[in-house]
Amino acid sequence: MQVVLIMLATDFVQYWVHRAFHTFPFLWNFHAIHHWHHGSEREAIDINYASHFPIYDWFFGTHHLADKRWPETYGVVGDTVPRGYWRQFLYPFSARWRKTRAPQAHLTEPAE
């Protein structure tokens, strides 16, 4: 019963948070910041770490918000994660995952 109540409460909160995003346009920036955080194009790498408190990103110079544009691609650069829920769930336990965890050159290159 407690699980059902928690599910209903979280759905209720999510609904009102979503409504607030539409009602108060300045809150949409948080949504866009979060999208840019998950973008995989060059411009979206290593930005927007504090998507709920962007003042930290402004302070540390990692804030990014493109005007009226969203990232075109999402995910991890060099993504090797398999498709499907169970494959993704078991992937960290596979020998293949341990082999791909070496530092990748494209992440250590200096930014242009």
pTM higher than 0.85: no
Mean pLDDT of the chain: 78
- Cβ 30 vs Cβ 54: under 8 Å: yes
pLDDT tens digits along 45-63: 888 888 677 888 889 998 8
Contacts (Cβ under 8 Å, ≥6 apart) of 71: 35, 36, 38, 39, 40, 41, 44
Which candidate, 78, 73, 68, 77, places its Cα nearest to that of 29?
68
pLDDT at 110 over 70: no
Residue 71 identity: P
Average pLDDT over residues 17-36: 74
Name the percent of the chain lying above pLDDT 90: 7
